[in-house]
Amino acid sequence: MGRPSGFAYESQAGTTVHITHHGRHATTLQGDRAARFLGEVTGAADPQLVMARWTGNYKRGNERIARNHPRNRG
């Protein structure tokens, strides 16, 4: 566990962005969402974290708490 890695993105014509994770398609952003993503990822200190957040592929920090909740016990 730790910092996200393995993400890459490819911008096509400035209106479409394809994000991959370890070579596999993760998501496609178009239009305004693609523009906002490009603005955020180019100015980010950690672009991997930005891509993980945009794809929803990141840990939220509450997994241990949720696992121990009475509703989630086997």
For the chain, which ranges sit under pLDDT 50?
A: none
In sequence order, the 6+-apart residues with CB closer than 8 A to the CB of 8 are 19, 20, 51
Residue 26 half-sphere exposure toward CB, CA atoms < 13 A: 19
pLDDT of 5:
86
β-partners of residue 62 are none
CA–CA distance, 30 with 54 (Å, rounded to integer): 13
Tell whether pTM > 0.75.
no
CA 30 to chain centre: 15
φ, ψ at 25 (rounded to 5°): -60, 130
